[in-house]
Chains A and B, each alone.
Chain A
């Protein structure tokens, strides 16, 4: 098992003939993801260098391939339209890589696409190691195992996963939920899935300043998954108030969204917070030992 994505997921790429779309479609395909085609209006009938069929519309792609997942690489003004199109065509899960989507577009899309899970926008995607990768993550740092990872950023996730893999902790699924103020899938929603995933035996959460997603997930952990070893990290302890740091959503507003508030919430929920990414594997090992639950390292 894993969450959101596995061997059977059939993936299309919206924007597959663009520079980013074609590059990452090739990488996903090379990773072993079941990429079944892509969509670029006006280029239907063509094939990619890997031989993947290109369609004019998502509904055509779904009808021809049975696609269940879509990875969206389109410029910000068109991202909402691409998500609506995916929803109308019956896609079950859409990953929106695009950065710079107007926040009202995301609000409206999230409110009108019930039944379709959206990861992002402004995210690196997700990977169920050994099974499939959808997005722009570097496949080689991941290793199949039992740790579920949720993060708001890209490269920091790779850093943390690399440390986990080197320490012998493989991963079940890693989800980059995205750095925007409003996102389709929150930490809590990921944990609801991880909670029911038999492969996942432990969790690592990488939060950052802004919003209340970390506070919310801390409360969820205390109530629903208190028996699972969890370690958290919170980036941006040195952030100034009122200014976004890189991610549009990474912003401290008055007393809200500070790293301190998030760290406090995790600690109150009994979740140890790493002072730096390099401390995460050791903290996880001691949480696992403390609970007496074996976390087989990459036993799949």
Chain B
């Protein structure tokens, strides 16, 4: 689960990381009355998960209440346009009205899980306000990293050392070790995958402030934080994840693509290889789907309907490697599922192996389906039938 800026900043504030004064608003009127009550120089920022808000004109300045109302209206009027990171764009449901900072410097600070080192890593750069990928490309020498020993945790020397190594402006030096420590505490308290301050601003009057907040939480750890469930409901939902949950498979097990060959396999690795086999055969995949273990009739039916009703599939390629499962049982499950379903019918190509696989293939053929012996053959047949 990725958090919006205003949610991330709420966690930052609670953790003791300085953030600008702000107000989260859902309507232009709310923006206007907030500025009326607290006059000053404000900036109005669209609340979305995708990046590129500035370029899309979704961050605007407001000097007074009427201006605040006008820019909020403009920001909320249209969704975030698609970009490379998110080809669908994103609706804008709220804005953050925030104190306008007089910024002298912009730096970068983040903590994430380093998979190879199997440790949390703090990353600091004196260049902020741009994508970290861009920093890595343009100023690789500015990136300072520290791998934290989880048994020891954070200690202020880490922040001091990083500040020097990254070449942060001297104005950061006093405040930075405490900010990095607070960020580390937050990272651990929530079991986050990423906490990022970009930019970490140094203001003209010498304050160090988190001007933006990016927090990625671990879906597998959310059960420990019921207090965040309200936010979860307020976030824009990933439709593929909702559909997967509805069909009774894991949230990561279903993903749609623009093609016409529907796919399903048991196991994530095999499901990826199945997609690759379809594209190797010159076809265009409609989806990724890992049916998980135990392909019984109910599960197969749910998965068939998930694909047929939500993708452009004109054929459904089922690839089951029956390690422990019996081929004849899987075949009966598939046949029953197809009898029971009330959704539109598309041809099935089924690759099935396992104990009693020959019997399984006989059952499938009798029911008018296309059983095949190998993944490659199945992919070829499916691509043929799709075109």
8 Å CB contact of B113 from A107, A236, A278: A107
Task: Assess whether A157 is in contact with B269, with CB atoms less than 8 Å apart.
Answer: yes
Q: Find residues 113-163 in chain A having any chain B CB closer than 8 Å to their own CB.
A: 136-138, 141, 151-159, 162
Min CB gap A157→B, angstroms: 7
Which residues of A sit under 8 angstroms from B374, Cβ to Cβ? Answer: 278
Task: Assess whether B113 is in contact with A103, with CB atoms less than 8 Å apart.
Answer: yes
Q: Please tell me if B35 contacts chain A, counting CB pairs below 8 Å.
A: no
A-B contact count (CB 8 A): 163
Q: Please tell me if B345 contacts chain A, counting CB pairs below 8 Å.
A: no
Which residues of A sit under 8 angstroms from B188, Cβ to Cβ? Answer: 104
Task: Assess whether A107 is in contact with B120, with CB atoms less than 8 Å apart.
Answer: yes
Min CB gap A257→B, angstroms: 9
1/0 contact trace for B95-133 toward A, CB 8 Å?
Answer: 000000000000000000101101110000000000001
Q: Please tell me if A235 contacts chain B, counting CB pairs below 8 Å.
A: yes
Min CB gap B326→A, angstroms: 11
Which residues of B sit under 8 angstroms from A208, Cβ to Cβ? Answer: 268-269, 272
1/0 contact trace for A157-185 toward B, CB 8 Å?
Answer: 11100100000000000000001011000
Min CB gap B118→A, angstroms: 5
Task: Assess whether B375 is in contact with A111, with CB atoms less than 8 Å apart.
Answer: no
Task: Assess whether B269 is in contact with A255, with CB atoms less than 8 Å apart.
Answer: no
Task: Assess whether B267 is in contact with A112, with CB atoms less than 8 Å apart.
Answer: no
1/0 contact trace for A25-58 toward B, CB 8 Å?
Answer: 0010000000000000000000000000000000
**Segment at the A interface, from B164-172, B251-259, B359-367:** B251-259
8 Å CB contact of B268 from A27, A162, A245, A255: A245
Which residues of B sit under 8 angstroms from A255, Cβ to Cβ? Answer: 133
Task: Assess whether A155 is in contact with B269, with CB atoms less than 8 Å apart.
Answer: yes
1/0 contact trace for A252-296 toward B, CB 8 Å?
Answer: 001100000000000000000001111000000000000000000
Cα A157 to Cα B270 in complex, Å, equals 8
1/0 contact trace for A80-108 toward B, CB 8 Å?
Answer: 00000000000000000000111111111
Which residues of B sit under 8 angstroms from A107, Cβ to Cβ? Answer: 113, 118-120, 150
Which residues of A sit under 8 angstroms from B120, Cβ to Cβ? Answer: 107
**Segment at the A interface, from B218-226, B310-318, B336-344:** B218-226
Q: Please tell me if A213 contacts chain B, counting CB pairs below 8 Å.
A: yes
Task: Assess whether A100 is in contact with B220, with CB atoms less than 8 Å apart.
Answer: yes
Q: Please tell me if A8 contacts chain B, counting CB pairs below 8 Å.
A: no
Cα A152 to Cα B268 in complex, Å, equals 10
Cα A85 to Cα B290 in complex, Å, equals 32
Which residues of B sit under 8 angstroms from A162, Cβ to Cβ? Answer: 321, 353
Chain A residue nearest in CB terms to B187: A104
Task: Assess whether A152 is in contact with B269, with CB atoms less than 8 Å apart.
Answer: yes
8 Å CB contact of A103 from B149, B218, B267, B268: B218
Which residues of B sit under 8 angstroms from A275, Cβ to Cβ? Answer: 280
Task: Assess whether A235 is in contact with B276, with CB atoms less than 8 Å apart.
Answer: yes
Cα A27 to Cα B269 in complex, Å, equals 23
Chain A residue nearest in CB terms to B189: A104
Task: Assess whether A158 is in contact with B321, with CB atoms less than 8 Å apart.
Answer: yes
Chain A residue nearest in CB terms to B2: A242
Min CB gap B336→A, angstroms: 22
Q: Please tell me if A240 contacts chain B, counting CB pairs below 8 Å.
A: yes
Task: Assess whether B272 is in contact with A112, with CB atoms less than 8 Å apart.
Answer: no
Task: Assess whether A112 is in contact with B321, with CB atoms less than 8 Å apart.
Answer: no
Cα A186 to Cα B288 in complex, Å, equals 26
Q: Please tell me if A225 contacts chain B, counting CB pairs below 8 Å.
A: no
Task: Assess whether A245 is in contact with B220, with CB atoms less than 8 Å apart.
Answer: no
Which residues of B sit under 8 angstroms from A241, Cβ to Cβ? Answer: 85
Q: Which residues of A contact B (CB under 8 A)?
A: 27, 76-77, 100-108, 110-112, 136-138, 141, 151-159, 162, 179, 181-182, 186, 206, 208-213, 216, 233, 235-250, 254-255, 275-278
Q: Which residues of B contact A (CB under 8 A)?
A: 85, 113, 115-116, 118-120, 133, 149-151, 188, 191-193, 218, 220-221, 223-224, 240, 250, 252-253, 255, 257, 265-273, 275-277, 279-280, 285, 288, 290, 321, 323-324, 353, 374-376
Given contacts A153-B267, A249-B115, 18 further A-B contacts (CB under 8 A): A100-B220, A102-B224, A103-B193, A104-B113, A112-B151, A138-B324, A151-B269, A156-B267, A159-B273, A182-B113, A212-B115, A212-B116, A233-B273, A239-B272, A245-B252, A246-B252, A246-B269, A246-B290
13 contacts between A and B (CB under 8 A): A27-B324, A103-B193, A104-B113, A104-B218, A111-B119, A137-B323, A138-B323, A155-B270, A237-B279, A245-B255, A246-B288, A249-B115, A278-B376
